[in-house]
């Protein structure tokens, strides 16, 4: 199969409706900006986790899931300079066949591992509010390691077809990250399965969890004062996770379905007389791919709002959080208990 099963860096199968200029303008700038922001946010977050391990000697289940989410983001971020260089050199891949396969593999590993770790975090947040004792048990158990391993194994196995084929020679260029005419029928069928298992199902679970979370947070409470910001903070976490799905993942999967359907029709010359529709889909695929890649920049917001450990790390470093922000930091910090760590 082609190294980009679902046209992740969309190239038309006929070559008659090329948007190479558009891709050369959009992809490198987006990839390099995402690389810079994602690497900075990821480095700070990683330092906070290392500091947490040194001080406490262990990670709670929630922190372990967040650490795995961070590792997934850093994998994608480190692959972006290769993607940018490919388009800056006129869609000519110079990094070798193995690297081409790995770069495509890493993209899907990041996307679907991120989706599943966000789902697991949402389930944990749901348990913290509806079944707090069960949540405390899970926080201290080793089952979280099994969950992390299961996510990585399942996502990796599902993405292994991307390692089956690499770069190809095309008119004097070495192509990578493009969708070819070959195997379009099979790719379209696989796409429907991946969209359901990799996006629709996790998003349904997340939506179910957050309906109960928001319902609980909106209930009138007699407690006032210091505890109220914790509930506002929980709402902020809900907004961040849903924003990541609606901004990064939903547009990409919707356009991918339309794009592959159009590619399948192109093989049957449905659009032989006009490129207007297919060009629009190609450009939409470029934009939504950039949004999907941007999830590696938005995920650090979860570490920021997840609160106490990140702020304690920043407070120790001093330079990262100005003293003038002490009042704001106190407002958003959570009580120092395992249960409040996720509910807040």
Per-residue pLDDT tens over the stretch 210-258: 888 888 777 765 544 444 445 556 677 788 889 999 999 999 999 999 9
Backbone dihedral region of 90: left (phi > 0), alpha (psi from -120 to 50 degrees) or beta?
left
CATH superfamily of 20-343: Rhodopsin 7-helix transmembrane proteins (1.20.1070.10)
- Residue-averaged pLDDT of the chain: 78
Place of tokens 């490129």: 275
Structure token digits, residue 142: 């080793």
Q: What is the pLDDT of residue 240?
A: 86
The more confident residue out of 79 and 225 is 79
Q: What is the pLDDT of residue 17?
A: 65
Average pLDDT rounded to a whole number, residues 255-264: 87
Question: In terms of Cα–Cα distance, which of 28, 32, 37, 36 is closest to 9?
Answer: 28
Q: Where are the domains of the chain?
A: 20-343
User: With bands split at pLDDT 50, 70 and 90, how would you rate the model's confidence at 25?
Assistant: very high
Highest mean pLDDT among 74-88, 181-195, 213-227: 74-88
Residues 6+ apart with CB under 8 A from 165: 1, 2, 3, 101
Structure token digits, residue 275: 């490129």
Q: Do 34 and 293 meet the contact criterion of CB atoms below 8 Å apart?
A: yes
User: With bands split at pLDDT 50, 70 and 90, how would you rate the model's confidence at 329?
Assistant: very low
**pLDDT at residue 130 is higher than 90:** no
Question: Alpha-carbon distance 66 to 301, whole Å?
Answer: 11
**pLDDT at residue 336 is higher than 60:** no
Question: Alpha-carbon distance 109 to 105, whole Å?
Answer: 6
Q: What is the pLDDT of residue 342?
A: 45
Among 48-57, 159-168, 304-313, which stretch is predicted with the lowest mean pLDDT?
Answer: 304-313
Question: In terms of Cα–Cα distance, which of 12, 190, 20 is closest to 108?
Answer: 190
Question: Alpha-carbon distance 296 to 291, whole Å?
Answer: 10
Among 142-146, 222-226, 284-288, 325-329, which stretch is predicted with the lowest mean pLDDT?
Answer: 325-329
User: With bands split at pLDDT 50, 70 and 90, how would you rate the model's confidence at 266?
Assistant: confident
Among 15-29, 51-65, 311-325, which stretch is predicted with the lowest mean pLDDT?
Answer: 311-325
Average pLDDT rounded to a whole number, residues 157-181: 77
Among 13-17, 85-89, 270-274, which stretch is predicted with the lowest mean pLDDT?
Answer: 13-17
Question: Alpha-carbon distance 63 to 150, whole Å?
Answer: 17
The more confident residue out of 79 and 13 is 79
Question: What's the 3-state SS for the chain?
Answer: CCCCCCCCCCCCCCCCCCCHHHHHHHHHHHHHHHHHHHHHHHHHHHHHHHHHHHHHCCCCHHHHHHHHHHHHHHHHHHHHHHHHHHHHCCCCCCCCHHHHHHHHHHHHHHHHHHHHHHHHHHHHHHHHHHCHHHHHHHHHCCHHHHHHHHHHHHHHHHHHHHHCCCCEEECCEEECCCCCCCCHHHHHHHHHHHHHHHHHHHHHHHHHHHHHHHHHHCCCCCCCHHHHHHHHHHHHHHHHHHHHHHHHHHHHHHHHHHHHHHHHHHCCCCCCCCCHHHHHHHHHHHHHHHHHHCHHHHHHHHHHHHCHHHHHHHHHHCCCCCHHHHHHHHHHCCCCCHHHHHHC
% residues pLDDT > 70 (the chain): 75
User: With bands split at pLDDT 50, 70 and 90, how would you rate the model's confidence at 112?
Assistant: very high
% residues pLDDT > 90 (the chain): 33
Structure token digits, residue 29: 């700038």
Among 12-16, 202-206, 242-246, 273-277, which stretch is predicted with the lowest mean pLDDT?
Answer: 12-16
């Amino acid at each position: 199969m082609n190294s980009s099963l679902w046209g992740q860096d969309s190239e038309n199968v006929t070559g008659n409706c090329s948007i190479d200029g558009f891709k050369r303008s959009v992809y490198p700038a987006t990839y390099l900006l995402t690389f810079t922001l994602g690497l900075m946010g990821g480095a700070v977050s990683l330092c906070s986790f290392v500091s947490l391990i040194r001080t406490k000697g262990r990670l709670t289940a929630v922190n372990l899931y967040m650490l795995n989410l961070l590792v997934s983001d850093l994998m994608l971020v480190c692959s972006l300079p290769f993607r940018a260089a490919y388009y800056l050199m006129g869609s000519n891949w110079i990094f070798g066949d193995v690297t081409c396969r790995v770069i495509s593999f890493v993209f899907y590993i990041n996307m679907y591992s991120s989706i599943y770790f966000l789902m697991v975090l949402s389930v944990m947040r749901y348990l913290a509010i509806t079944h707090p004792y069960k949540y405390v048990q899970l926080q201290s158990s080793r089952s979280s390691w099994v969950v992390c391993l299961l996510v990585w194994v399942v996502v990796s196995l599902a993405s292994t077809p991307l390692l089956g084929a690499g770069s190809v020679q095309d008119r004097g260029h070495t192509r990578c990250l493009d969708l070819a005419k070959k195997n379009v029928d099979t790719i379209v069928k696989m796409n429907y399965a991946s969209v359901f298992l990799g996006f629709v199902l996790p998003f349904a679970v997340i939506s179910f969890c957050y309906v109960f979370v928001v319902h609980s947070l909106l209930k009138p409470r007699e407690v006032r004062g210091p505890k109220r910001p914790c509930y506002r903070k929980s709402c902020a976490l809900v907004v961040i996770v849903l924003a990541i799905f609606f901004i990064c993942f939903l547009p990409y999967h919707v356009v991918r379905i339309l794009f592959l359907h159009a590619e399948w029709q192109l093989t049957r010359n449905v659009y032989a007389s006009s490129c207007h529709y297919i060009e629009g889909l190609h450009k939409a695929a470029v934009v939504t791919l950039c949004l999907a890649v941007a999830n590696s920049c938005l995920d650090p917001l979860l570490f920021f709002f997840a609160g106490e450990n990140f702020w304690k790390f920043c407070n120790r470093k001093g330079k990262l959080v100005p003293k003038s922000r002490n009042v704001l930091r106190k407002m958003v910090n959570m009580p120092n208990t395992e249960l409040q760590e996720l509910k807040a």
